[in-house]
Structure formats: C-alpha cells, structure tokens
Amino acid sequence: MPNSTLIAVIAMLLSMTCYQISASFAKQLIAVLDPLSVTILRLCFASILVFIMFRSWKILRKLPVLAWRDLLCYSAALALMNVLFYMSLGKLPQGIAVGLEFIGPLGLALLSIQQRSDSIWVLFAILGIALMVPWQDAAQANFSLLGAVFALSAGLCWAFYIYFGHKVVRQNIGMHALTIAITLSAVVLLPVGLIHQPQHLLQPAFWPKALLIAVLATVIPYALDLFALQRLTKLSYGTLSSLSPALAALAGLILLHEQITALQWLALGCVILASIGVTFKKKVDLAT
C-alpha cells in the first residue's frame, strides 16, 4: 500500500475513534441540554478553533471567486448531519443511532462500485450493520421510531457530505473549506438556538464539555476526513467508514456501559473484515 493511502486509512481510523468518543460525551450532555443546543455549542467552539488552527484569514480575499454552490451544499450537509444525529442520539442507544445513520454512506459506496468483485466487501459491511442494530429492541421502550427517522436522515446527509466533500477538495483551498462550512453552520444555527433555548447556550457551566466535544467531534475528525477524501475513492472511504458502528459500540461499552451482545461481536467481525478487504484490494489493484 502506498504511504499516502496508508496515511489516509490511519487518518480515517483516528477520525472515527475521536468522533465516537465525542458522541458518548455528547449523549451525556444531551441528558441535560437539548440536542440542538449541544450541536450549536459544538459548532460555535469548533468554528473558532479551526479558524485559528488553519489560519483561515488567508482565504478571506478568495471568497468572491470560490465555487459557492458546492461549498453551500457541503456546509448544509454538515450542519444537518450533526443536528439530526444528535437528535437521534437523544432518543436511541449510541450503537443503534450510528448503525442506522451508516446506511447513508453505505448506499453511496454501493453506487460507487465499478467492479463486481468489489461488492463482496460492501455486502460484508451491510451484514455487519444489520447485525449491529438490535432489531429485537424495536418494540421496546429504548427504541424510538422518530429517533430512527432522525438517524436515517442524518445518514442521507452524511452521504451528501461525502459527495460534496469530493467536489470541495478540488477547489484547492485545503482545510479552509472546513472553516467555511463550520462557520456557516454555526452562523445559521446560532440565532435559532438563541430563540429556542437561550439559557442553554449562555450558561458557562456547559462550555468546557462542549469545547471538548468540539475538539473530538469536529476539529479532529473533519480535518482528517478532508485529508482522507483527497487520497481515497468514494468506495474505499464509504466501506472503510463501516468501522464507525463498531467503534460506536466499543465507545458505548467503555464510556456509557452499554453491553455488546454476542451477535454484535459477530457484527464487529463483519465490518472489520469489510474494511480490511477493501484496503487490501486497493493494494492489489495498485500492484497490478
């Protein structure tokens, strides 16, 4: 595997790990605040952090000449994906929410297949997701139909995020695209939050944990995602992302004490197999 591809795979693994840890912290905060307020606090802190980190004042003079249609679609997908996912996280266990959300990028991976032999790894990922979600809990109190709708909608936005992310990186503005997307999301959502629950956003006691969530869920993952999108195909990105539900289950086990069943351990094996398969297939393709 070329060094650039290996680094991109490692970047994705780090991105997903940070994001799932942040989701566990966010779920704890959602128990006190509403999901929209948690999302807004996270995006506001993240917009400041990435602006400083990437020195995004350098992009200000280029704003008039940018391809704004792709940037606006990328920003909208990012904002909606986060709001909808946190709304689902407030109503579903973390593993279920992530499993349902992942249907979006998996669908994108299926549409990206060019060779029939590639489909086996996507099918393994689908099997893993199907086993990961405890469908037997659908009739129980810990499963919300509305939460499932939120998670599926977040997955659709995730697919658009990947799709427009590929378009945005072609503008050669680097990580400044992330700054623009997060800042636009925060600017649009902040007035809504101030009208909806101003006491949640203006309470300093919640800011330290929101700042930690911003670092783990936004600054690190989205920066690594943009880096990976420049070096991986949509099929590779979508299939490798199948580790997300597995990491969500592990984060839930460690941080939220959510138990993993034997069937879910089998699901972990399926998604890991799919991820390894697509990675090594890329290595074989490049070697031949």
CA distance 47 to 267: 36
Q: What is the largest CA-CA distance in the chain?
A: 60
pLDDT digits 0-9 by tens, 56-83: 888 888 888 888 898 999 999 999 999 9
pLDDT at 139: 54
Calculate mean pLDDT across residues 11-38: 90
Min mean pLDDT across 123-127, 138-142, 188-192, 256-260 is at 138-142
pLDDT at 140: 56
Among the ranges 24-33, 90-99, 114-123, 274-283, which has the highest mean pLDDT value?
24-33
Give the CA count within 13 Å in the CB-facing half-sphere of 197: 13
As a whole number, the mean pLDDT across the chain is: 82
Calculate mean pLDDT across residues 36-65: 89
pLDDT digits 0-9 by tens, 229-260: 777 776 677 667 777 777 887 888 888 877 76
Q: Domains in the chain: how many in total? A: 1
CB contact at 8 A, 147 and 87: yes
Whether pLDDT at 158 is above 80: yes
pLDDT band at 283 (very low <50, low <70, confident <90, very high): low
Whether pLDDT at 288 is above 50: no
pLDDT band at 192 (very low <50, low <70, confident <90, very high): very high
Calculate mean pLDDT across residues 28-44: 92
pLDDT at 37: 93
CB contact at 8 A, 167 and 74: yes
DSSP string, the chain: --HHHHHHHHHHHHHHHHHHHHHHHHHHHHTTS-HHHHHHHHHHHHHHHHHHHTTGGGGGGGGGGS-HHHHHHHHHHHHHHHHHHHHHHTTS-HHHHHHHHTHHHHHHHHHT--SGGGHHHHHHHHHHHHHHS-GGGTTSTT--HHHHHHHHHHHHHHHHHHHHHHHHHTT--TTHHHHHHHHHHHHHHHHHHHHH-HHHHT-GGGHHHHHHHHIIIIIHHHHHHHHHHTTS-HHHHHHHTTHHHHHHHHHHHHHS-----HHHHHHHHHHHHHHHHHHHHHHHHHH-
Residues spanned by the domain of 264: 1-284
Per cent of the chain over pLDDT 90 is 28
pLDDT digits 0-9 by tens, 198-228: 888 989 999 999 999 999 988 788 778 878 8
CA distance 17 to 23: 10
